[in-house]
Amino acid sequence: MSHVPHELAEEFDTFKDTIHDLKQTDSHFAILTDEYHEVNREIHRIETGITPAADGFEKELRQKRVVLKDEISTYLK
């Protein structure tokens, strides 16, 4: 585990402006990014030991983050 948060601005660094614009103009995209950030923060809290969680729950969150990231990536293409 890397214990490094996977922020969207870092994951899609060449799309920072596009992400910002879409969050302002597309409500579905804004919901996706909010959900991504929520899941990502929860994973980071589990990785750093702030929030205890079963391995299965952490795995489920990681899978959800991948799905959200894929959907966000589709928007950006």
In tens, the pLDDT along 25-51 reads 999 999 999 999 999 999 999 999 999
Confidence of residue 9 (pLDDT cuts 50, 70, 90): confident
CB-CB contact of 51 with 42 (8 Å)? yes
What's the pTM?
0.89
User: Which of 15, 69, 72, 75 is closest to 43 using CA atoms?
Assistant: 69
